[in-house]
Amino acid sequence: MSDGIDSQYTGNHDDNPESQYNDGKGVRYHISLKPLPPPLKKGEKRRKNKKIDDINRTIYVHEEESLADLLEAAAQALGYGDKLLFKVVSKDLRASNFTLKWSISRTDFKNMQLTTTDHFDEMISEATQKGTPAVKLDFVEFEEVANEGDSDDEPSTSKKRKLTEEEELMAETISQLKAAYNCSDKTCTSPVCYLGNPNGEHVRMTPILLNTWASAKLVGIEGVDLEHPPPDKMFQPVEGADNIDDIALLARRRNQANQASKSATPTITINNDFAGLAQLLRPDHAIAPLAPTQLAPIPRIPSPVKPVQMPFAAFCLAANLHPDVATKLEILEIAGPHLLEFIENSVLDQYLSVGNRAALRYAESQWKKGLIGYGGQNALLINPHT
Ligand SMILES: [Zn+2]
């Protein structure tokens, strides 16, 4: 029984009670992999009968574990953690670069196909008829099927050789991520999902997410590894979207959100009429000149999320800067606060006191955060201070 066994591995998730079999270790699997021959070097010819050694391992996996868990454990034990490409969808085992057969010694179950979870259930049920269940699993690796219709004559290895070392590392890291986050939830339409959020929601690992994660890991961003993505909210579920997998639904929601913000815009742009605002700001006019329906939608303490383009004078007013600031800088013809960052302090200091220049810079920083806008003026109007 011990021929060819060179390592042992026990796969069992913590939530299973101890296995009833093999001293609590689970079902014993003798796994064997017939690997693909290594890629040929230029000018080299494949010798027909050149023998490539099979890889043999023995693992124990708890009888309650799923097919995907078994394959994951087997792949790891074989040193093929990221190289056996598969996904269990509904009841199907979809393997893109290997075939799998199972046998139980001293029974009629020899070289049985393993392509569905029903096959797997049958295998477990037959194996556990015995006091010490043992199964032989035979993996045969084959060239990954790329896209249907791809020509076999074009060896994929020739493409791979053109990759730079960096690209290879990226590709390798991405396939590690894909293997680690392979989604076997049959209700989920995404092949690869990250579930690292409080509710375990499926965040679809799009190529962008995979690339971001892999490059963050490769450049050595602190705390980023195969288990920990970069601290970016793109790895968290979209708030309010309870089913991230439904892209159409998501798109609709985004659309609605956009529509909502578009329809909200006109109520804000009322105030783009600056003559009107100046009027508004005059204490004797107060709120009167605008019809209540026009004022109503303006939030009481608005804080625009983005900086709003506005004329410089209006900005000074909204920021409640000293009147000198606007008048003394008039000669510079600054169109709006968005240009302030391009003007050196030394220039401003020719016109402003240090205190006023500092106040202007502070206002600029507030404006960039979206804290100063037209809404701010209304806020001043509604709640005048000093
Ligand atoms: Zn998923």
The answer to whether residues 123 and 197 belong to one domain is no
Q: How far is the CA of 202 from the centre of ligand 1 (A)?
A: 5
Q: How far is the CA of 346 from the centre of ligand 1 (A)?
A: 56
The answer to whether residues 11 and 136 belong to one domain is yes
The answer to whether residues 126 and 182 belong to one domain is no
Residue 319 lies in a domain: yes
The answer to whether residues 13 and 112 belong to one domain is yes
Q: How far is the CA of 145 from the centre of ligand 1 (A)?
A: 23
CATH number at residue 61: 3.10.20.90
Choose the final residue of a domain: 220, 235, 250: 235
Choose the final residue of a domain: 186, 220, 235: 235
The answer to whether residues 129 and 188 belong to one domain is no
Q: How far is the CA of 350 from the centre of ligand 1 (A)?
A: 61
Report d(CA 256, CA 240) in Å as an integer. Answer: 13
Q: Which residues of the chain have pLDDT under 50?
A: 1-11, 147-160, 242-246, 249, 260-304, 376-386
Residue 240 lies in a domain: no
Range of the domain at 184: 165-235
Q: How far is the CA of 251 from the centre of ligand 1 (A)?
A: 18
Q: What is the pLDDT of residue 138?
A: 95
Residue 82 lies in a domain: yes
Q: How far is the CA of 189 from the centre of ligand 1 (A)?
A: 6
Q: How far is the CA of 244 from the centre of ligand 1 (A)?
A: 9
Q: How far is the CA of 330 from the centre of ligand 1 (A)?
A: 58
Choose the final residue of a domain: 207, 235, 263: 235
Give me the helix-helix angle, 274-281 and 374-382, nearest 10°. 20
The count of domains in the chain is 3
User: Exposed, middle or buried: residue 214 (CB in 10 Å: 0-12, 13-18, 19+)?
Assistant: buried
Q: What is the pLDDT of residue 77?
A: 94
Report d(CA 318, CA 316) in Å as an integer. Answer: 6
The answer to whether residues 14 and 132 belong to one domain is yes
Structure tokens at 173: 């890291």
Q: How far is the CA of 192 from the centre of ligand 1 (A)?
A: 6
Q: How far is the CA of 194 from the centre of ligand 1 (A)?
A: 7
Q: What is the pLDDT of residue 17?
A: 81
Residue 272 lies in a domain: no
User: pLDDT digits over 273-290, tens only?
Assistant: 444 444 444 444 444 444
Report d(CA 295, CA 299) in Å as an integer. Answer: 9
CA distances from 351 to 71, 97, 237 (A): 74, 73, 50
The answer to whether residues 98 and 135 belong to one domain is yes
Q: How far is the CA of 183 from the centre of ligand 1 (A)?
A: 5
Structure tokens at 112: 């049985």
Q: How far is the CA of 97 from the centre of ligand 1 (A)?
A: 22
The answer to whether residues 131 and 173 belong to one domain is no
Q: What is the pLDDT of residue 240?
A: 56
Residue 30 lies in a domain: yes
